[in-house]
Amino acid sequence: MTLILLVDDEPLISDSLSYSLRREGFDVVAVTEGGQALKAVQEQKPDLVVLDVMLPDMSGLEVCRRLRTNNPIPVIMLTARGEEVDRVLGLEVGADDYLAKPFSFRELLARIRATLRRVELDRTAPQTQPIVLWDLTLDPTARRIIKGDQELQLSAREFDLLSILMRNAGRALSREELLAQVWGEDWIGDPRTLDVHVRWLRLKIEEDPASPQYIQTVRGYGYRFAGPEELS
């Protein structure tokens, strides 16, 4: 059974969501603090985290940031404020999706299912031979990326995005195409998450992220990975 970790310190919301999710066939572990959430992820190994921004001991943004240092678990963030800065910060720390309170349970359920479908597609996707472009080697079977002789630490989304770009080296890919291939055609989150992930990738693979050699912006359209002839 799919296990969801629910992190919210408001009893009415936590109890209501836990009840409704269980009725939909999910197993639910509910905690009220960020520290409890980090511990539960290690011990319970949930399939997805629904994480409130406002927690008594630490911000949900900080919890998400810590999870992203060593864990690819998908995270859907909740907030009572719904301000633009909160959405941007949520994406910056690695949230997969973002939902502002008040929201309907059906909307949350749709986003949970869409996120879980995308994760399952990742697990069952066919594996291929490593891709080598200049000093970058991407191994889809081991899900490793090597730059020179150093292995880079990428999140699951960063790896998927880099994989799509490198497989299509030299070709411009539209924002819509990248979002559909990496996040799924039924993904309904903030499209700016693509730009955030591109920025993270540039920080990790580029010698000068401000003047990228590998991942290039195609203004008004999307992104492209430099072709072999450009890199050589």
pLDDT of residue 187: 64
In a shared domain, residues 152 and 205: yes
pLDDT of residue 174: 93
d(CA 200, CA 40): 27
d(CA 52, CA 42): 19
CA atoms within 13 A on the CB side of 164: 26
Domain boundary among 124, 144, 170: 124
Range of the domain at 91: 3-124
Gyration radius of the chain's alpha carbons: 18
d(CA 165, CA 159): 10
Q: What is the count of structural domains for the chain?
A: 2
Q: pTM for the complete prediction?
A: 0.63
In a shared domain, residues 152 and 111: no
In a shared domain, residues 143 and 120: no
In a shared domain, residues 186 and 227: yes
d(CA 114, CA 203): 28
pLDDT of residue 158: 87
pLDDT of residue 186: 63
pLDDT of residue 125: 57
Which residue bears the tokens 């986003």? 111
* The token pair that represents 100 in the structure block: 């502002």
Of 136, 143, 48, 133, nearest to 97 by C-alpha is: 48
In a shared domain, residues 147 and 119: no
Task: Give me the helices (H) in the chain, please.
Answer: 11-23, 34-44, 60-68, 84-92, 105-124, 156-167, 175-183, 193-205, 228-231
The CATH number of the domain holding residue 181 is 1.10.10.10
pLDDT of residue 119: 73
Domain boundary among 124, 150, 178: 124
Per-residue pLDDT of the chain (232 residues; tens, 9 = 90+): 899 999 999 999 999 999 999 999 999 999 999 999 999 999 999 999 999 988 999 989 899 888 877 777 889 988 876 555 566 666 667 788 888 888 899 999 998 988 888 777 666 555 567 888 888 999 888 788 999 888 888 877 888 899 999 989 989 999 998 988 887 766 666 778 889 899 989 999 998 999 999 999 999 999 999 987 776 5
In a shared domain, residues 210 and 157: yes
In a shared domain, residues 44 and 156: no
d(CA 113, CA 105): 12
C-beta of residue 31 within 8 angstroms of C-beta of residue 51 = no
pLDDT of residue 182: 83
C-alpha pair distances (Å), 200 with each of 36, 126, 181, 204, 230? 28, 26, 18, 6, 22
The CATH number of the domain holding residue 42 is 3.40.50.2300
In a shared domain, residues 147 and 224: yes
Domain boundary among 63, 97, 124: 124
In a shared domain, residues 61 and 160: no
In a shared domain, residues 120 and 26: yes
pLDDT of residue 172: 93
pLDDT of residue 126: 58
In a shared domain, residues 107 and 184: no
In a shared domain, residues 15 and 111: yes
